[in-house]
Chain A
Amino acid sequence: MIPLSRLQRLEAESIHIFREVAATCDNPVLLYSIGKDSGVLLHLALKAFYPAPLPFPLLHVDTTWKFREMIAFRDRWPQELGCKLIVHVNQDGLRAGVNPFASGSRLHTDVMKTQGLKQALDKYKFDAAFGGARRDEEKSRAKERVFSLRSAEHRWDPKNQRPEPWDLYNTRKAPGESFRVFPLSNWTEADVWDYIAQENIPVIPLYFAAPRPVVERDGMLIMRDDDRLVLRPGERFESRMVRFRTLGCYPLTSAVESDATTLPAIIAEMRGSRTSERHGRAIDHDGAGSMEQKKQEGYF
């Protein structure tokens, strides 16, 4: 037999994880955040259970500040694949007027994403939630298990994680506890793009370079996705050739200048890049250990 390639090994490992959850948890859900990692996650999930349909729904926690292109993609692609999609918005946060401009990135993310996620998990009583996080993204993620146990209050205890040898997962939990499960733990950004190219997985056009209206603010290039982005004195929009390496809430996600309009060009640009993928995500830089803090509080 020909030895498995790196992508084949990663794919098999992820499929194994999906099946393990389906076999041992009562009510799993796939956290679908519309980006490239979610696209790979969904593709792998469908492979894991073929020829059966996906045995769990998708959940999108909508902060109401996602790029319009993301929402259009969300409302079309999973349905075409025959998946059930649940969209949850934290209505309390919305009523309180929380938004990334007035409230700041930290509060906005906590209320609309973290609290919103916890509301949805509690409402539907999901006991396992798949996420597309990868260990190569961030230092505290590098420390997280594939099966990450959360208390009934959704807290992560990084100092007391279960040992997780081999791929022999301890899937037991007490009533009320749940798992966050990360099938892409061992994938890198390069693996994700290589796999998207190999499997021909559709991604949002925002990943490809195009002339877009942006404003320079706090060292970031923010794209005007709708009228809610109001210019400060001295600021102006200009059209620049940009693309996005990661996608989140549009006021908190920096574009990068790029000429990469094709998949091979994106892959070549990424391999030559001198900055990390999450560099353009404001919420990662809210203070030292800020990702760990958010994760302890229940952020994915």
Chain B
Amino acid sequence: MSAALQLAYPDEADQQALAPGQASLLHFLTCGSVDDGKSTLLGRLLFDSNAVLDDQLSALDRDSRRFGTQGEARDFALLVDGLSAEREQGITIDVAYRYFSTARRSFIVADTPGHEQYTRNMATGASTAELAIILIDARKGVLPQTRRHSYIVSMLGVRNVVLAVNKMDLVGFSADVYQRIIEDYRRAVASLGFTSIVSIPICARDGDNVASVSGQTPWYSGPVLLDYLETVSVDAQPDADHGFHFPVQLVNRPNLDFRGYAGTVASGVVRAHQPVRILPSGQLTRIESIVTADGALEAASAGQAVTLTLTSEVDVSRGDVIVAADDALAPATAVTARLLWMVADSLTVGQTLLARIGTASANARVARIHHAIDIHSFQAHTASSLGMNEIAVVELTLDKKLVSTDYASDRTLGALILVDRMTNQTVALGVVEPAPGQPAREVSQDPGGTVAPKRAPGWQAAIVRVLGAAVLGLLVIALSGGWLLATVVAVAEVGINLLIGWAVWGAWKPGVTAAADNDAVKV
């Protein structure tokens, strides 16, 4: 490695020192089959991290006597099963979001239902998670729902999994049972592209290996769950490294003197005075200013909600996307997406639904079901329709041009929902696949069976960046006629690219961006 690359990609410890705020918040979800103890585990985690307050605890004891499934003992699931129907039936129907903090980290947890019937609610919880705890009942081992949930979390971009083998007390804390289950699981999900699978034997009800080391598992030397959650390093959001994308949410025009375009930066970085292109029209213009209530910004990055003003009068409305002038993003009337179908009425070829991507909508006709995924084997098979909770790669034909890109490179323009225009129900969620013939997600199978992306050698990437900056410089000359400005922009571009590369190096580590896709499901 050359010196320049050392600068661009320092080791991970440095990166964490740079960004302590980022490491302090973790979004995760608990999922798995019915009665594997997801809500109990989360209740236990809240209890052990002191997040259950005195009045909530006395309410829990009262509820445990009334609804509990644990006899005289506390039923921790009742801390999170907040709907009456859930408490009466002792099941989780809808996703619950819980918030707790320890001295080391803050957590947002989605507790999701295990019943196949409520898979849509599980997927909702998974869509914003950075890590998944997948529970398995030690008596039952890997179940169809374990596979389905593993597939869905992988499809939605989760790369880190904790396999919590629960109810170990009911199998006598047997190391053999545990070992067999984790081997089964690893085999089952080998093709899903997880970068880390950490397994932990637990008894959620009694707290074994949840927040403290269990005396019942002397054969286990790994971390306890809470310690692991407090310290695990998850992928940094890769979005900042990609091109600047800004779906326009709202045109802000309070008077004749101001016309701004409000929205949230979906990916990349925008800088004042940078040349941009409006999609789908293709018009070129430049950013005049980045307006916020706290004053104008020089730059804004992915996740920031801002208002952009442009230097020229161009036609921009909600649903348009403002991108960097040199961005390759192109609007299209077709999109290929991996869908989770979420309602009882089947999806059929020829059906028309409303597609929503970013802030834009269009009528979408199901042109073709490319293939469906068998949830047991993860193999692709042909299908002419799609039932509830089934997954397929589907080609949609749109009645107007929309801007989208593959989910791995932009979590906003790569995500979509489909809405039934009659009932207004959200009938499917999906992730946009890379365009045909464009292997945007380069995934290779290494001999060890773990999935890792190919990455161009660093010097090649550096050359690409310098060339990109030169092109940008030329563009600025074309637009402004100023050599000085162009040089400044080009130099800044190189500098900022290097900085971004530094900041998101965690996301570039081999394996980390491995996609949900895999060879097994391609036909």
Could you list which residues of chain A lie within 8 angstroms of chain B, going by C-beta atoms? 1-6, 8-9, 11-13, 15-16, 19-20, 22-23, 46-53, 135-136, 138-143, 158-159, 161-166, 168, 170, 172-174, 185-186, 188, 190, 273-276, 279, 288-289, 292-293
Contacts and interface: CB of A to CB of B under 8 A. Distances in A.
Contacts of A3: 19, 21-22, 236, 503
A267 to B, nearest CB: 13
Contact of A142 (B98, B359, B417, B429): B98
B382 interface: no
A51 B258 contact: yes
Contacts of A11: 305
Interface stretch (B89-97, B199-207, B275-283, B483-491): B89-97
Interface of B: 19, 21-22, 24-25, 53-56, 63, 66, 79-85, 87, 93-99, 101, 106, 108, 120-121, 123-124, 127-128, 156, 236, 240, 249-250, 252-254, 258, 260, 262-264, 269, 291-294, 299, 301, 303-305, 307, 318, 342, 354, 356, 359, 411-412, 415-417, 419, 424-426, 429, 499-500, 503
Contacts of B128: 165-166
Tell me whether chain A's interface is mostly helix, strand or loop, or mixed: loop
Contact of B82 (A1, A19, A47, A139): A139
Given A135-B97, A274-B54, A168 B240 contact: no
Given A12-B305, A48-B305, A172 B419 contact: yes
A158 B94 contact: yes
B55 A276 contact: yes
Tell me the dominant secondary structure on chain B's binding face: mixed
A16 B426 CA distance: 20
List the 3 closest pairs (A to B, CB-CB), nearest first. A139-B82, A52-B254, A165-B127
Contacts of A159: 83, 85, 93-94
A170 B97 contact: no
Contacts of A185: 97
A163 B113 CA distance: 13
Contacts of B85: 158-159
Nearest to A17: B305
A8 B265 CA distance: 13
Given A2-B19, A12-B305, A288-B63, A142 B96 contact: yes
12 contacts: A16-B305, A19-B249, A49-B252, A135-B99, A139-B79, A143-B95, A163-B121, A165-B429, A166-B127, A166-B128, A275-B53, A275-B55
B91 to A, nearest CB: 12
Contacts, number: 171
A26 to B, nearest CB: 14
Taking each of B54, B55, B63, B305, which has the highest tally of chain A beta carbons within 10 Å of its own beta carbon? B305
A249 B500 CA distance: 51
Nearest to B425: A162
B18 to A, nearest CB: 8
Given A20-B249, A23-B249, A4 B303 contact: yes
Contacts of A163: 120-121, 123-124, 342, 426, 429
Contact of B25 (A6, A16, A135): A6
Nearest to B304: A12
A13 B25 CA distance: 15
Contacts of A173: 424
A11 B264 CA distance: 11
Contacts of A23: 249-250, 318, 359
Contact of A1 (B156, B240, B262, B294): B240
Contacts of B22: 3
A289 B96 contact: no
B98 A279 contact: no
Among A1, A159, A185, A276, chain B packs the most CB atoms within 10 A around the CB of A1
Given A6-B106, A19-B249, A53-B254, A289 B305 contact: no
Nearest to A165: B127
A170 B356 contact: yes
Given A19-B250, A162-B425, A168 B415 contact: yes
